[in-house]
Copies of this chain bind each other. A is one copy, B any other.
Amino acid sequence: MSASRLGRLQSLLRDNDLDALVVTHPPNIRYLTGLSASAGAAVVGRDRCVLRVDFRYATAARTAADTTPGVDVEVFTGSIDAAISAGLSLLNARSIGVEAEHMAVAGFNRLLASMDGEKDHAPTLVPTERLVERLRVIKDAEEVAILREAGRRISRVGRRLRAFAVPGRSELEVAAAIDSAMRTAGFQRPAFDTIVASGPNGALPHARPTDRTLLAGEGVVLDFGGVYDGYCVDLTRTLQLGRVPARFRRMFDAVRDAQAAGIAAVRPGARAIDIDGAARAVLDARGLGEAFGHGTGHGLGLEVHEEPRLSKLAPAEEVVSAGMVFTIEPGAYVAGVGGVRIEDDVLVVSGGCELLTDVPVQL
- A interface with B by C-beta (< 8 Å): 36-37, 55-57, 59-60, 78, 98, 100-109, 127, 129, 176, 179-180, 183-184, 188-190, 193, 203-206, 208, 293-294, 313, 335
Q: Is the CB of B59 within 8 A of A203?
A: yes
From B57, B98, B188, give the contact of A193 (CB < 8 A): B188
Complex Cα spacing A294 to B55, Å: 7
Q: Which residue of B lies closest to A79 (CB)?
A: B313
In the bound complex, residues from chain B placing their C-beta under 8 Å from that of A60 are: 204, 206
Complex Cα spacing A294 to B59, Å: 14
Q: Is the CB of A104 within 8 A of B106?
A: no
Complex Cα spacing A272 to B230, Å: 36
In the bound complex, residues from chain B placing their C-beta under 8 Å from that of A208 are: 36, 188
In the bound complex, residues from chain B placing their C-beta under 8 Å from that of A105 are: 98, 100-101, 103-105, 108, 127
What copy number does this chain have within its complex? Answer: 2
Complex Cα spacing A205 to B105, Å: 30
Q: Is the CB of A56 within 8 A of B293?
A: yes
Q: Is the CB of A109 within 8 A of B104?
A: no
Complex Cα spacing A184 to B101, Å: 38
Complex Cα spacing A29 to B311, Å: 26
Complex Cα spacing A203 to B107, Å: 31
With A101-B104, A105-B127 as contacts: A313 and B78 at CB distance below 8 Å:
yes
Complex Cα spacing A107 to B189, Å: 30
- In the complex, what's the smallest C-beta–C-beta distance from A134 to chain B, in angstroms? 15
Q: Is the CB of A37 within 8 A of B206?
A: yes
With A105-B98, A105-B100 as contacts: A179 and B183 at CB distance below 8 Å:
yes
Complex Cα spacing A313 to B190, Å: 34
In the bound complex, residues from chain B placing their C-beta under 8 Å from that of A59 are: 203-204, 335
Q: Which residue of B lies closest to A59 (CB)?
A: B204
Complex Cα spacing A183 to B180, Å: 9
Complex Cα spacing A106 to B99, Å: 8
Q: A60-B206, A103-B104, A105-B127 are in contact. List 17 more A-B contacts (CB 8 A).
A: A36-B208, A55-B293, A56-B206, A56-B294, A57-B206, A59-B203, A60-B204, A78-B313, A100-B105, A100-B106, A101-B105, A101-B106, A102-B104, A104-B104, A105-B108, A179-B179, A188-B208
Complex Cα spacing A203 to B60, Å: 11
Would you list the 7 A-B pairs with minimal beta carbon distance, nearest first?
A: A55-B293, A100-B106, A176-B183, A100-B105, A101-B106, A56-B205, A56-B206
Complex Cα spacing A323 to B335, Å: 41
Complex Cα spacing A318 to B284, Å: 59
Complex Cα spacing A189 to B179, Å: 9
In the bound complex, residues from chain B placing their C-beta under 8 Å from that of A98 are: 105
Q: List 26 A-B contacts (CB under 8 A).
A: A36-B208, A37-B206, A56-B205, A56-B293, A56-B294, A57-B206, A59-B203, A59-B204, A78-B313, A98-B105, A100-B105, A100-B109, A101-B104, A103-B105, A104-B104, A106-B127, A106-B129, A109-B127, A176-B180, A179-B180, A179-B183, A180-B180, A180-B183, A188-B193, A188-B208, A189-B193
Q: Which residue of B lies closest to A305 (CB)?
A: B38
Q: Which residue of B lies closest to A63 (CB)?
A: B204
Complex Cα spacing A108 to B104, Å: 9
Scoring A59, A78, A190 by chain B CB atoms within 10 A of each residue's CB, the highest score goes to A59
